[in-house]
């Protein structure tokens, strides 16, 4: 069978014998009742766990709408108009509304980027600004020692609304929910304190059961309550296919349940060889982003197996700290030990790769130099077909294969399809 994997702006093709192919993990076929703005408006009209936003909001309140920055796939321009309608219906004028882009640990955006993300209507009507890690208010400390530092505009608002998209997150369980607030509108110190909890085995994709990272973030709500959220589920093409609105916990869990229906993929057994891609540009521009697909693929590969990671990485590693950690380690174990001793953003992704290397070889098809790839503990290959052919020789004619063309979205779980 001929399989295609997104690679930059093109594709990599691999011929996989059907007798070896155990599964191709794509989203589960679903009929979505509503999409795009229709899904958002329906969610706002049928909130989970709260009254409608127009019934919560009151004239005279200063409202902030926290939404995703340019590094996230949420199409804020499809969400903001309906949210602004709700606020207008409540009697809150546009001059009392600010849209804050949650930067987390990412760079500040340009005015043009903010306007593009917000969309023409929101950009015309309300104030747009980035969160500011240098202007935060300390509100308290969680039981796990994380300082609840919240950017001033959000901390001082009378009404806090969070927007986000829900997808699997490799140590917070899922994205979305409170993550727009913490760590989205917080400080590097707070982010690092929370993210050091990633080494706990319960901090894993799709897990909310005593996940220490998620629990810590949601504890921050005691110090900075959120009034309302709108969370969207996106398909592989980043279009909204479902939305949930309302309570910051209940509506988030509702969106997570829908995501599970779409992207949790039962596999009867782990495979010798896993072919995985982020799906091409822009999601595979660097290894920092391509790592998301790798981390899901680890749930599909046998101990001692091989993951063939397909990502152009035409921009290299994508993070100076990530590069410093990878190049500064003598072995993968150095990375795991180091992140436990001194957590640093960027280093956490290096440690996540090292944790996969404990169990499997990682072959990388990319535009990076072979010697450089070897220096970061991965095996360079020049095409996905070459890597697959060599892996088949290693594991023999009966080798089992799982393919994940959109690896950042699909989560393999034990079970019968």
Q: Give the CATH number for residue 175.
A: 3.40.50.11440
Same domain? 208 vs 335: no
The answer to whether the beta carbons of residues 363 and 307 sit under 8 Å apart is yes
Q: Which residue, chain included where needed, has tokens 């509304």? A: 97
Q: What pLDDT is recorded for position 342?
A: 83
- The predicted-structure confidence for 233-267, as pLDDT tens digits, reads as follows 999 888 999 999 999 999 999 999 999 999 999 99
**SS3 at position 82:** helix
**51 CB-near residues (< 8 Å, 6+ apart):** none
Same domain? 62 vs 199: yes
The answer to whether the beta carbons of residues 363 and 381 sit under 8 Å apart is yes
Same domain? 101 vs 205: yes
Model-wide pTM > 0.75: yes
Q: Tokens standing for 43? A: 């969610």
Same domain? 75 vs 160: yes
Kindly give the parts of the chain with pLDDT less than 50. Answer: none
Q: What pLDDT is recorded for position 8?
A: 95
CA gap 216, 207 in Å, rounded? 14
Is 259 contained in some domain?
no
Q: What pLDDT is recorded for position 344?
A: 86
Same domain? 366 vs 400: yes
Do β-strands 301-310 and 360-365 pair in parallel, antiparallel, or remain unpaired? parallel
User: Beta strands of 226-293 (E only): which ranges?
Assistant: 228-234, 240-246, 264-267, 271-277
**SS3 at position 328:** helix
The answer to whether the beta carbons of residues 172 and 217 sit under 8 Å apart is yes
Same domain? 194 vs 291: no
Residues in the chain: 417
Torsion sign, CA atoms 295, 296, 302, 306: negative
- The domain of 351 spans 2-27+264-414
Last residue of a domain, one of 211, 226, 241: 226
The answer to whether the beta carbons of residues 6 and 284 sit under 8 Å apart is yes
197: DSSP letter = G
Q: Tokens standing for 186? A: 């917080």
Last residue of a domain, one of 205, 226, 247: 226
Q: What pLDDT is recorded for position 73?
A: 86
Cα angle at 243 between 240 and 248, to 5 degrees?
135
Is 35 contained in some domain?
no
The total domain count for the chain is 2
Same domain? 296 vs 341: yes
Q: Check whether the bond before 308 is cis (ω within 30° of 0).
A: no
Is 169 contained in some domain?
yes
Q: What pLDDT is recorded for position 199?
A: 81
Q: Please give the distance of CA 413 from its chain centroid, rounded to a whole number.
A: 18
Q: Give the CATH number for residue 376.
A: 3.90.226.30
**SS3 at position 31:** coil
Is 326 contained in some domain?
yes
């Amino acid at each position: 069978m001929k399989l295609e994997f997104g690679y930059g702006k093109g594709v990599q093709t691999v011929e996989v014998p059907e007798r070896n192919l155990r599964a191709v993990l794509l989203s589960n076929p679903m009929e979505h009742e509503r999409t795009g703005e229709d899904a958002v408006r329906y969610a706002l009209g049928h909130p989970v766990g709260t009254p409608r936003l127009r019934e919560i909001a009151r004239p005279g309140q200063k409202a902030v709408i926290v939404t995703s920055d340019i590094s996230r796939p949420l199409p804020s321009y499809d969400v903001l108009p309906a949210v602004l309608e709700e606020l207008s219906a409540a009697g809150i004028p546009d001059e009392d509304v600010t849209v804050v882009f949650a930067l987390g640990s990412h760079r500040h955006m340009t005015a043009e980027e903010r306007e593009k993300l917000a969309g023409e209507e929101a950009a015309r009507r309300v104030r747009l600004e980035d969160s500011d890690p240098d202007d935060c208010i300390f509100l308290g400390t969680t039981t796990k020692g994380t300082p609840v530092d919240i950017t001033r505009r959000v901390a001082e608002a009378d009404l806090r609304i969070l927007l986000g998209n829900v997808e699997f997150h490799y140590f917070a369980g899922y994205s979305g929910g409170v993550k727009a607030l913490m760590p989205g509108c917080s400080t590097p110190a707070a982010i690092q304190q929370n993210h050091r909890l990633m080494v706990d085995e319960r901090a894993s994709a799709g897990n909310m059961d005593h996940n220490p990272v998620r629990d810590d973030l949601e504890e921050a709500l005691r110090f900075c309550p959120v009034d309302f959220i709108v969370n969207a589920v996106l398909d592989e093409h980043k279009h909204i296919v479902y939305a949930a609105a309302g309570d910051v916990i209940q509506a988030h869990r509702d969106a997570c349940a829908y995501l599970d229906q779409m992207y949790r993929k039962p596999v009867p057994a782990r495979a010798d060889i896993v072919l995985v891609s982020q799906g091409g540009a822009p999601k595979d521009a660097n290894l920092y982003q391509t790592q998301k697909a790798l981390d899901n693929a680890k749930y599909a590969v046998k101990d001692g197996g091989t993951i063939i990671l397909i990502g152009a990485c035409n921009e290299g590693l994508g993070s100076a700290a990530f590069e410093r950690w990878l190049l500064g380690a003598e072995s993968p174990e150095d990375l795991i030990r180091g992140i436990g001793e001194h957590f640093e953003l960027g280093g956490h992704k290096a440690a996540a790769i090292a944790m996969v290397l404990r169990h499997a070889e990682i072959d990388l098809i990319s535009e990076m130099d072979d010697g450089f790839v070897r220096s970061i503990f991965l095996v360079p290959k020049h095409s996905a077909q070459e890597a697959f052919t060599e892996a088949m020789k290693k594991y023999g004619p009966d080798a089992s294969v799982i393919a994940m063309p959109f690896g950042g979205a699909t989560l393999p779980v034990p079970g019968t399809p």
